[in-house]
Amino acid sequence: MRHPLLALLLASALLPLSARADSGAACNVMDAEALTALQLGNATKKPDHKDVPATKNAPKQRVDTCVMAPKDAPLPSLSVTSVALPAGTDPVKLTCSDQVLPTVKLAICNATAKGRMLSFALVLPTSAETGALRSQVERLVQRIEAGKR
């Protein structure tokens, strides 16, 4: 079951964003508290969705994506991806990783909540701390699981 999830994650990362703004599911994952903690309180949100065709290992899927960035600066930038999981898929624990590149830091967290795979990618200036993403994603996943979102 891990291979179809990986394929969906890769497909969502590789699909180009379009100007369509008729899906807000991924944008609705983030609340004001999380956006403020990630220095995205005044961010613009660009929602998008793509339908990924079925394969022999996975059914057709809808991939919702939301890119959030400040109105007046390129960083920080947050991308949230949400994909419905096939029935019977076991939930996975939150996993996060950080990477320091020459010009930016990248923090990535993946989790499942209420039958959805959620992926968060935060791009920050090299001087910024990346720990806020993990703590906010943990809090948001707990709220979603408790039915508060």
95: CB partners within 8 A, 6+ apart: 109, 110, 111
Q: Quick one: pLDDT at residue 130? A: 84
Q: Quick one: pLDDT at residue 103? A: 93
Tens digit of pLDDT for each residue in 86-120?
Answer: 888 888 899 999 999 999 999 999 999 999 999 99
The helix or strand, by DSSP H or E, that contains position 139, with its residue range, turns out to be helix 131-145
List Cα–Cα distances, 45 to 20, 70, 86, in angstroms: 12, 9, 27
Enumerate the domain spans of the chain: 2-145
The helix or strand, by DSSP H or E, that contains position 9, with its residue range, turns out to be helix 2-14
Instruction: Give one DSSP letter per residue of 69-99, joined into a string.
Output: EETT-S-SEEEEEEEEPPTTPPP---EEEEE
- Those residues of the chain that have pLDDT short of 50 are 1-23
